[in-house]
Amino acid sequence: MSTVKAYYDGLAFLPIEPVQLLKGSVVNLSILFDDSTNKNTAERLSAFRKLTNEFRELNKTEPLSPEFDELLNKRVNFVRELDL
């Protein structure tokens, strides 16, 4: 048995420190309120979760098509000079 400090954001418990569990593990939670938790930490964890969710949504967008690379290649000609 181990103890994990976590923040509850209204939907899920977010561990404050990394936890050594396999993804998808089922655990039993015993809840003990900790008034010493820094409010700033809770706010930062909430902001981090929001940012993570935004990244997940951005990753759902379709990547650029191969035609985009072809067009970009025609419009921009990069020249690389080598100092020998």
Only one residue has tokens 């290649």, namely 73
Across 50-71, average pLDDT: 83
Determine the Cα–Cα distance for residues 32 and 43; give it in Å rounded to an integer: 20
Q: Which residues contact 66 (CB under 8 A, 6 or more apart)?
A: none
Domain boundaries, given as residue ranges, for the chain: 6-75
Q: Are 42 and 51 in contact (CB under 8 A)?
A: no
- Which structure tokens are listed for 8? 């509850």
Determine the Cα–Cα distance for residues 18 and 16; give it in Å rounded to an integer: 7
Residue with more model confidence, 45 or 23:
23
What is the per-residue pLDDT for 70?
79
What is the per-residue pLDDT for 31?
84
For 29-59, write each residue's pLDDT tens digit: 888 877 666 677 778 878 888 898 888 888 8
Q: Are 20 and 5 in contact (CB under 8 A)?
A: no
